[in-house]
Amino acid sequence: MAELSAGEVVNRMKAVLAVQGVPWSDASTRDRFKFGGPDTVVTGIATTFMGTLEAITKASALGLNLIITHEDTYWNDADNTLIAEADPLVYKTKIDFMTKHNIVIFRNHDHMHRQRPDFTFSGTAREVGLDPMTETAPNSHRFVIPETTLGELAARVKKIRGDDAIRVVGDPSAKVRRVATGAGMATPAVNSADVDVVIGGEQREIEGTFDSPEYVMDAATLGIPKGWIVIGHNMSEESGMQEMAEWLRPIVPEVKVQHVRAGIVYWVP
């Protein structure tokens, strides 16, 4: 079987996206090679939320040298290595490992969000136990569930996901049944008439207006049944990289494709 280069993998991704109505834009500074290059022979592919050293070492141990990340590798959105070099110890250790193990990093952020469904949203819904059949309209990210309390729903989300560090805003006894999902920083307004609770990534506690925890706190004080289940940016989009791996497999049948989690960001003491 002929060898598969990293560049060919990316070209196949671009071709499939174009057929799906998402033409590739080279204007994106996010979606490009971040380490290594297109000529490297691919031994296997790992998808992950962000290019942590933990994910990179796990992928390498599995024989996967092309790592497709959704978020950055060098701790800043532009993946500006000049910024990263300000911490030479951590940066150099990471670079040295990737060089030694022939690692290639390619980021797919902007185009992944342009896909329909957006894998980060469909992945989050799957991982918090929402049935796609209950979505109010395709790609609406709105679901209707049997009435429960905010506290019971949060406990169920925690159990299904197995994450200890989720956070909840609102009255735990509030009755909820209309759920909206958000991924990363893309969070819907919780004051919408068709939303009782948002399950989303991350949000500042202030200045979000109708998608802020501050608003939910005021609504709860007034007895308005609104809630927010914050699962974190990583956990809300990592699940989408599992969807990405499944999407990639038929595109590159020559090599193994596996989702590798970037690691647990928060832990509870």
Same domain, 155 and 183: yes
If one counts the domains in the chain, the total is: 2
- Pairing mode, if any, of strands 257-259 and 227-230? unpaired
Same domain, 11 and 105: yes
Same domain, 109 and 241: yes
Burial (Cβ within 10 Å: 0-12, 13-18, ≥19) of residue 82:
exposed
Would 215 be classed as within a structural domain? yes
Could you give the angle at which helices 53-61 and 88-100 cross, rounded to 10 degrees? 20
Same domain, 183 and 144: yes
Same domain, 160 and 200: yes
Would 1 be classed as within a structural domain? no
Give residue 1's pLDDT. Answer: 60
Would 124 be classed as within a structural domain? no
Q: What is the three-state SS of the chain? A: CCCCEHHHHHHHHHHHHHHCCCCCCCCCCCCCEEECCCCCECCCEEEECCCCHHHHHHHHHCCCCEEEECCCCCCCCCCCHHHHCCCHHHHHHHHHHHHHCCCEEEECCHHHHHCCCCHHHHHHHHHCCCCHHHECCCCCCEEEEEEEEHHHHHHHHHHHHCCCCCEEECCCCCEEEEEEECECCECCCCCCCCCCEEEECCCCCCCCHHHCHHHHHHHHHCCCCCEEEECCHHHHHHHHHHHHHHHHCCCCCCCCEEECCCCCCCCCC
Same domain, 42 and 135: no
What CATH number is attached to the domain comprising 57?
3.40.1390.30
Same domain, 17 and 108: yes
Give residue 2's pLDDT. Answer: 73
Same domain, 59 and 90: yes
Same domain, 56 and 139: no
pTM exceeds 0.75 for this model: yes
Same domain, 64 and 142: no
List the pLDDT tens digit at each of the 269 positions of the chain: 679 999 999 999 999 999 999 999 999 899 999 999 999 999 999 999 999 999 999 999 999 999 999 999 999 999 999 999 999 899 999 999 999 999 999 999 999 999 999 999 999 999 888 988 899 999 999 999 999 999 999 999 999 988 888 999 999 999 999 999 998 887 888 998 899 999 998 887 877 788 788 999 999 999 999 999 999 899 889 999 999 999 999 999 999 999 999 999 988 89
Same domain, 137 and 89: no
What CATH number is attached to the domain comprising 183?
3.40.1390
Same domain, 166 and 246: no
Would 123 be classed as within a structural domain? no
Would 122 be classed as within a structural domain? no
Provide the domain limits for residue 199.
129-230
